[in-house]
Amino acid sequence: MIGSRFKLARAAAGLSLRDLEEALGSLVTAQAIGKYERDEMMPSSDVLIAMSKILDVSVDYLLSTADVELLGVEFRKKELTSAKETAEVQARILSEVERYIAIEHILAIEIAHVFTEASRPTLRTLDEAEEAAQDLRKKWKLGGDPIPNLCEFLEEKGIKICALNLPDSVSGVQADVKTAGGKHIPVIVLNRNHAGERQRFTLAHELAHLYLKFAGSLDREKACNRFAGAFLMPQEMLLREIGMRRSSIAMRELFQLKKRFGASAQAIVYRCKDLGVFSQALYVEVFKVFATNGWKLNEPVPLNAEPPARFERLCFRAVSEGVISEGKAAELLRVSVRELQKLIDLPPERDAASGHPSGI
């Protein structure tokens, strides 16, 4: 059924049936578009070409029978502002994950299974979240040091990651996407506009939602925050860097630790409180300094983002090996063939400076 493709592309573009009707001029009515989406009618070639241009997708995409199903999306903190915005984000997740699956299929890369149901621990206390983070680091042989590029690491583990423009109140989204073959793919969506330290904490927090199960009345958000802190800042290393007990801390030291751990200064303060390094009084005192300086919303020394790059890298690999044409690669990357030809020989740092979006 290709009707779902039309509906998905329209939702990803943020257009209602009436919006698309207006964009198409007198070519077709909203009622007819609705029939396309319900598979009650097929558009003419003229309408199909016009729709592909307006929706910024290829005709081949609209006619494809490939299918993925979004089973659930969980928003951290605040939900999106409207049902329309929620539908748009969900559609974009599906569209981007589908392209990711397509390039893996072309290159004969098997979809990795990150966790089995039996391997997911059930938490009853916040302390068990700490233990779960330590156990997962051991299982993944991470040692005790900070993870240099968390985004890249999680992609290697089989978690699909994409960066989208989300409202500032939404740090991230995690979803379970099912393919037509019945495979489940974990997805984490980052807010492209957030600083690197906030994105890293979001990745660790959403990883917790994917990995952990919860029993009783345990506060899931607190448990996932505890897991994220422990996963990013292992206890042994943190205590070695900052000491067992502190009665005060210089802001300069705190922001140096921010770079060391790849975590926000606020996350470090929370972590120190959780481990008993900071007393309640010192914790309150530090946050008063943050509030006075306006650092709670905009921390100094923001870290660079670690954008997802695996999908783009696979597309360039497929082009270089002659597995796909430049036209197909451009379609997957949502760029023109001319822009693709420029990007092929453009170093990533130049790419970032030019404002070209990395990842999917």
Mean pLDDT, residues 333-349 taken together: 86
Higher pLDDT among residues 291 and 15, named by residue: 291
Any idea which residue has 């009665």 for tokens?
A: 247
pLDDT on residue 79? 58
- On the question of pLDDT at 177 being above 80, the answer is yes
Write down the pLDDT at residue 66.
Answer: 63
pLDDT band at residue 284, thresholds of 50, 70 and 90?
Answer: very high
* Higher pLDDT among residues 278 and 216, named by residue: 278
Percent of the chain with pLDDT over 70: 91
Q: Give percent of the chain above pLDDT 90.
A: 55
Residues 6+ apart with CB under 8 A from 285: none
Q: Which helix (H) or strand (E) holds 173?
A: strand 170-179
The whole-number pLDDT of residue 57 equals 77
When pLDDT is cut at 50, 70 and 90, the band that residue 90 belongs to is: confident
Q: Average pLDDT, stretch 312-322?
A: 94
pLDDT digits over 299-308, tens only? 999 999 989 9
Amino acid identity for residue 28 in this structure: V
Does residue 36 carry a pLDDT above 60? yes
The amino acid occupying position 11 is A
What is the reported pLDDT for 151? 95
How does residue 358 score in pLDDT terms, banded at 50, 70 and 90?
A: very low
Q: What is the pLDDT of residue 356?
A: 45
What's residue 357's pLDDT? 45
Question: Residues of 192-201 as b/e, b for ≥16 C-beta within 10 angstroms?
Answer: bebbbbbbbb
Nearest alpha carbon to residue 357 among 300, 301, 298, 311 = 311
* Average pLDDT of the residues in 86-109: 83
pLDDT confidence band for 320 (50 / 70 / 90): very high
Pair 75, 206: CB distance under 8 Å: no
pLDDT band of 227, cuts 50, 70, 90: very high
Band (pLDDT 50/70/90 cuts) for residue 353 is very low
Q: What is residue 352's predicted lDDT score, i.e. its pLDDT?
A: 45
The size of the chain, in residues, is: 360
Would you place residue 8 in the very low, low, confident or very high pLDDT band (cuts 50, 70, 90)?
confident
Asked whether residue 360 carries a pLDDT value surpassing 60, the answer given is no
- In this structure, how many other beta carbons lie within 10 angstroms of the beta carbon of residue 255? 17
Residues 124-159: pLDDT tens digits? 999 999 999 999 999 999 998 999 999 999 999 999
Q: What is the mean pLDDT of the chain?
A: 87
